[in-house]
Amino acid sequence: MDTGRLTVPGAELYYEVRGSGPVLLTILGGGSDAGMAGPLAEALPGRHTVVTYDRRGFTRSPLAGPPSEQRVEEHAGDALRLLDALGAEQADVFATHSGALIALDLLARHPGRVRRLVAHEPPAFELLPDAARWRALVEETVEICERAGLGPAARRLGEETGVMPPAGPTPGLPAWLRDMLTRMTANLETSFRYEQRSFCRYVPAVPPSAPLVLACGVETQGLMRACTQAVAGRLGVGVVELPGDYVGYLRLPAEFGTALHALLSRREG
């Protein structure tokens, strides 16, 4: 594995490169960082050159100044600059959750740079019939986070979405898992306080002929499936199922990687 750093407007990005073959950029969501895409990257040796990175403000990608409200478009610009820095004129992209919103914006603004995008469970709350309710919930959880901390805010959001936050690190866990959960906790607080408001209002819009696959975990139900179906309806595409649930790429990396490779290899449509 090779690592690198890239200075972008307002931040410095940390990234990792593994494998060989066509470039596959991964963009994760929530509190995830490059390490959480590592198992998936390791499942694709010889099939893809997998690029993983910590999004701005997360883990090893510090901001250049005080944190402020972030926008999907700003993160899409980071992804584009990373492709430029790696000399990738075109790349496949796998993106999940809020990362999928970022990737959809990248595809909309720079369609020639994306060979194929697999967008996994994009949380496009604004496309739901009760979008106003979800906007209000996000405002409530941001306020709770600022007043009472991440734990109560994440539990409140989880009660409504069905996606509960991961348990915090405890002494009995393996060191690597404690480290991952510690990083996720810090990143989730950044996401809650500086991404949630703007990201929940983002409305995907890509050309009808865009090389896009919308995907949902076969075990995923409730809100995230509803969001994926809402995006599919707006963009006029179908939804395919990938192994596992909303974090199938982490829990079932080998099975998920095989299915993802098959989607990326299917160039028609």
Domain 2-125+202-265 classified CATH 3.40.50.1820?
yes
Q: Three-state DSSP class for 166? A: coil
CA distance 122 to 107: 14
Q: Which pLDDT score, from 0 to 100, does residue 176 have?
A: 74
Instruction: Provide, rounded to the nearest whole percent, the portion of the chain with pLDDT above 70.
Output: 96
Measured in residues, the chain has a length of 269
CA distance 146 to 165: 17
pLDDT band at 266 (very low <50, low <70, confident <90, very high): confident
Tokens representing residue 151 in the block? 């734990």
Is a pLDDT exceeding 50 seen at residue 269?
Answer: no
For 256, how many CA atoms within 13 A lie in the half-sphere containing its CB?
A: 26
Residue type (1 letter), 138: V
pLDDT band at 268 (very low <50, low <70, confident <90, very high): very low
Q: What value, to the nearest 5°, has the Cα angle with vertex 140 and ends 144 and 219?
A: 100
Q: Three-state DSSP class for 240? A: strand
Q: Which of 6-20, 56-70, 164-178 has the lowest mean pLDDT?
A: 164-178
β pairing state of 114-120 and 239-242: unpaired
Q: Which of 37-51, 84-98, 164-178, 184-198 has the lowest mean pLDDT?
A: 164-178
In sequence order, the β-bridge partners of residue 217 are 242
Q: How far is CA 29 from each of CA 10, 44, 45, 50, 123, rounded to the nearest angstrom?
A: 20, 20, 23, 17, 10
The pTM of the whole model exceeds 0.85: yes
Is a pLDDT exceeding 70 seen at residue 267?
Answer: no
The tens digit of pLDDT for each residue in 106-164 reads 999 999 999 999 999 999 999 999 999 999 999 999 999 999 999 999 999 988 888 76
Is a pLDDT exceeding 80 seen at residue 252?
Answer: yes
Is a pLDDT exceeding 80 seen at residue 167?
Answer: no
Q: Which pLDDT score, from 0 to 100, does residue 212 have?
A: 96
Q: Which pLDDT score, from 0 to 100, does residue 170 have?
A: 67
Q: Which pLDDT score, from 0 to 100, does residue 101 have?
A: 98
Question: Average of pLDDT values for 83-90?
Answer: 96
CA distance 219 to 242: 9
- Domain borders along the chain are 2-125+202-265
The residue among 149, 131, 58, 144 whose CA lies nearest residue 99 is 58
